[in-house]
């Protein structure tokens, strides 16, 4: 699957914009270039910011009942050191940047207490979790400053690496950029029985990959290019710039999340050695897929296993995004390892097109502030689609592109998981054959999805370039 970095056809752009009356859209681009002059470029060779990879803590479950979990999250504003001798104003859950990992088991009742310590409204959206609409944490579940939101739900889906982040209208993009994001792990009998790396923080490591730009004083520079959304010139992993991770000569599992506002990451090892992908957004693939690189758009996840036993002690490997080293693995020495890469991971029940009660079509249109789905901008007071509880549908998502730009859109549906039927008539590649909740739609591409709605409520579907989402590339579906 190809996911080209956003490509802009700039020839005659100003003329075209003027001709169609879009000349006012040049103003955000002009301000972007002005503010970007003060950005700091981080050089991996000269920077003294290289550090050990931070591992987010597991959030404490305060309920002794093994079938009930109680968690507390507190979004707050703090300061974080990314660069030498500077402090950056950031946001985090229960800390200064990002948030702890919430870990639950299938069948468990989960109670969450979200105390908003910010000076602005927020929400907590459970990205990839199948819950009722009123507990999904979308824009309808706003949490005002100084108030508490207490959703309670039972987890009833397969093991997966999910995540949580804000989804409040007007605040989503900036709050995520400042640091509000965390991981949500679901375990089940399959994940517990597989002999794969699973010791959290030891051989099972989360990697939240994002990009930021910094001013000379260490402050975040929030650049909103009129087409691309907010992108940065510095990639951070778990909140650190170019971190190091010491590894033994064993198999390591990495749960990777693209937590960026707008950027795609094309990930590979610098020596071009392969690894195995074992899971996508919504859980395990049926079989491991041998890969040399993976491309993740905003919101997408992948789990991979890298076998470091093939490398000698003292070997250094870099994880690359495109041509940039974003973190380094330092091979220490031998370690005990009885894990494996199984030939089979799970069985996935395939949804049949014959089960579908309806085919819906969605066209992703526009750029920058002039984005829409099917020609409509998001309206909180309008329900765009209605579906019956338990129905299975086929959704055809089209990205027509245009003469003005060629840009992909990561399409996310709340409250459910989907399966990809085809891309431009072709069967999905093996790494996309599992459960997905965020699907990248290339320019000039039609992707057919099959989806079943198992929970009641009102849910969002939208582009996961956060600036596009907030500009109106979002709709609402009501399941009743």
| pTM, rounded to two decimals | 0.90
Pair 299, 384 in one domain: no
Pair 236, 282 in one domain: yes
Q: What per-residue confidence (pLDDT) applies to 8? A: 37
CA distance 92 to 175: 9
Is residue 51 situated within a structural domain? no
Is residue 31 situated within a structural domain? no
Q: What per-residue confidence (pLDDT) applies to 366? A: 83
Pair 318, 235 in one domain: yes
- CA 408 and chain centroid, separation: 15
Q: What per-residue confidence (pLDDT) applies to 50? A: 66
| Least confident among 15-19, 110-114, 470-474 | 15-19
| Least confident among 15-29, 409-423, 463-477 | 15-29
Per-residue pLDDT at 449 exceeds 80: yes
Cβ within 8 Å of residue 456, ≥6 positions away:
132, 133, 389, 479, 480
Cβ within 8 Å of residue 160, ≥6 positions away:
128, 185, 186, 279, 281, 282, 283, 435
| DSSP-assigned letter for residue 58 | B
Is residue 275 situated within a structural domain? yes
Q: What per-residue confidence (pLDDT) applies to 79? A: 98
Cβ within 8 Å of residue 337, ≥6 positions away:
203, 248, 249, 250, 251, 309
* Domain count along the chain: 2
Answer yes or no: are the C-beta atoms of 237 and 208 closer than 8 Å.
yes
Q: 29 phi and psi, to 5 degrees?
A: -65, -40
CATH of the domain at 431: 2.60.40.420
Q: What per-residue confidence (pLDDT) applies to 403? A: 60
Q: What residues make up the domain containing 294?
A: 204-331
For the chain, give the mean pLDDT.
Answer: 91
**What average pLDDT does the segment 29-47 reach?**
37
CA distance 379 to 140: 12
Pair 397, 443 in one domain: yes
Is residue 116 situated within a structural domain? no
pLDDT tens, 359-386?
Answer: 999 999 987 678 999 999 999 999 999 9
Per-residue pLDDT at 466 exceeds 60: yes
| DSSP-assigned letter for residue 60 | P
Pair 372, 283 in one domain: no
Pair 371, 474 in one domain: yes
Is residue 28 situated within a structural domain? no
- HSE toward the beta carbon, residue 171, CA cutoff 13 A: 22
Is residue 154 situated within a structural domain? no
Q: Tokens for 308, please give them.
A: 């470091």
Pair 450, 357 in one domain: yes
Per-residue pLDDT at 82 exceeds 50: yes
- Residue 13's SS3 state is helix
**What average pLDDT does the segment 231-254 reach?**
98
Per-residue pLDDT at 161 exceeds 60: yes
Answer yes or no: are the C-beta atoms of 327 and 242 closer than 8 Å.
yes
| Least confident among 31-45, 179-193, 288-302 | 31-45
Bigger pLDDT: 258 vs 404: 258
Pair 311, 353 in one domain: no
Pair 299, 380 in one domain: no
Is residue 151 situated within a structural domain? no
Is residue 14 situated within a structural domain? no
DSSP bridge pairs for 162: 184
Band (pLDDT 50/70/90 cuts) for residue 26 is very low
Q: 177 phi and psi, to 5 degrees?
A: -60, -35
Per-residue pLDDT at 28 exceeds 60: no
Burial of 6 (0-12, 13-18, 19+ CB in 10 A): buried
Band (pLDDT 50/70/90 cuts) for residue 223 is confident
**What average pLDDT does the segment 322-336 reach?**
94
Band (pLDDT 50/70/90 cuts) for residue 118 is very high
257 CB neighbour count, 10 Å cutoff: 26
Pair 322, 370 in one domain: no
pLDDT tens, 185-214?
Answer: 999 999 999 999 999 999 999 999 999 999
Answer yes or no: are the C-beta atoms of 229 and 198 closer than 8 Å.
no
| Domain finish residue from 282, 300, 331 | 331
Percent of the chain predicted with pLDDT > 90: 85
| Least confident among 180-189, 210-219, 322-331, 398-407 | 398-407
Pair 237, 354 in one domain: no
Band (pLDDT 50/70/90 cuts) for residue 23 is very low
- HSE toward the beta carbon, residue 311, CA cutoff 13 A: 24
Per-residue pLDDT at 19 exceeds 60: no
Band (pLDDT 50/70/90 cuts) for residue 405 is low
CA distance 411 to 395: 11
Band (pLDDT 50/70/90 cuts) for residue 53 is very high
Pair 317, 364 in one domain: no
């Amino acid at each position: 699957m190809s996911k080209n970095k956003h490509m802009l056809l700039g020839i005659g752009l100003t003329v075209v914009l003027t001709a169609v009356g879009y000349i006012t859209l040049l103003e955000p681009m002009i301000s972007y270039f002005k503010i970007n002059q003060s950005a700091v470029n981080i050089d991996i060779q000269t920077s003294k910011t290289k550090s050990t990879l931070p591992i987010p803590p597991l959030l404490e479950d305060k309920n002794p009942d093994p079938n009930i979990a109680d968690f507390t999250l507190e979004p707050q504003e703090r300061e974080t050191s990314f660069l030498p001798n500077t402090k950056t104003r950031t946001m985090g859950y229960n800390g200064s940047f990002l948030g702890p990992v919430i870990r639950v088991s299938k069948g468990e009742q989960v109670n969450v207490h979200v105390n908003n310590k910010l000076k602005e409204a927020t929400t907590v959206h459970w990205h990839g979790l199948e819950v009722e609409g009123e507990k999904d944490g979308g824009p309808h579940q706003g949490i005002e400053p100084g108030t508490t939101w207490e959703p309670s739900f039972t987890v009833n889906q397969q093991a997966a690496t999910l995540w949580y982040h804000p989804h409040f209208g007007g605040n989503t993009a900036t709050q995520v950029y400042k640091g509000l994001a965390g991981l949500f792990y679901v375990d089940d009998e399959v994940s517990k029985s597989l002999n794969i790396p699973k010791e959290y923080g030891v051989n099972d490591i989360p990697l939240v990959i994002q990009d930021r730009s910094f001013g000379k004083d260490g402050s975040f520079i929030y650049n909103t290019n009129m087409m691309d959304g907010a992108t940065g010139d510095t990639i951070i992993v778990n909140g650190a710039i170019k971190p190091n991770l010491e590894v033994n000569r064993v198999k390591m599992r990495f749960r990777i999340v693209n937590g960026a506002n707008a950027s795609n990451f094309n990930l590979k090892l610098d020596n071009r050695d392969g690894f195995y992908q074992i899971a996508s957004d919504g859980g395990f693939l049926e079989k491991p897929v041998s890969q040399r690189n993976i491309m993740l758009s905003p919101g997408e996840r992948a789990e991979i296993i890298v076998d470091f036993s093939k490398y000698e002690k003292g070997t250094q490997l870099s994880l690359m995004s495109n041509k940039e080293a974003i973190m380094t693995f330092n091979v220490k020495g031998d370690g005990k390892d009885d894990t494996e890469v199984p030939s089979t991971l799970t069985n996935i029940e395939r949804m049949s097109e014959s089960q579908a009660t309806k085919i819906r079509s969605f066209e992703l249109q526009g750029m920058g502030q002039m984005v829409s789905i099917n020609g409509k901008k998001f309206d909180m007071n309008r329900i765009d689609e209605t579906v019956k509880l338990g129905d299975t549908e086929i959704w055809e998502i089209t990205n027509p592109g245009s003469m003005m730009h060629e840009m992909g859109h990561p399409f996310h549906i709340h409250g459910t998981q989907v399966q990809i039927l085809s891309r431009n008539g072709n069967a999905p590649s093996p790494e996309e054959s599992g459960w997905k909740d965020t699907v990248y739609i290339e320019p000039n591409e039609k992707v057919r999805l099959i989806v079943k709605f198992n929970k009641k409520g009102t849910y969002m579907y939208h582009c996961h370039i956060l600036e596009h989402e907030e500009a109106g590339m979002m709709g609402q579906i009501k399941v009743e």
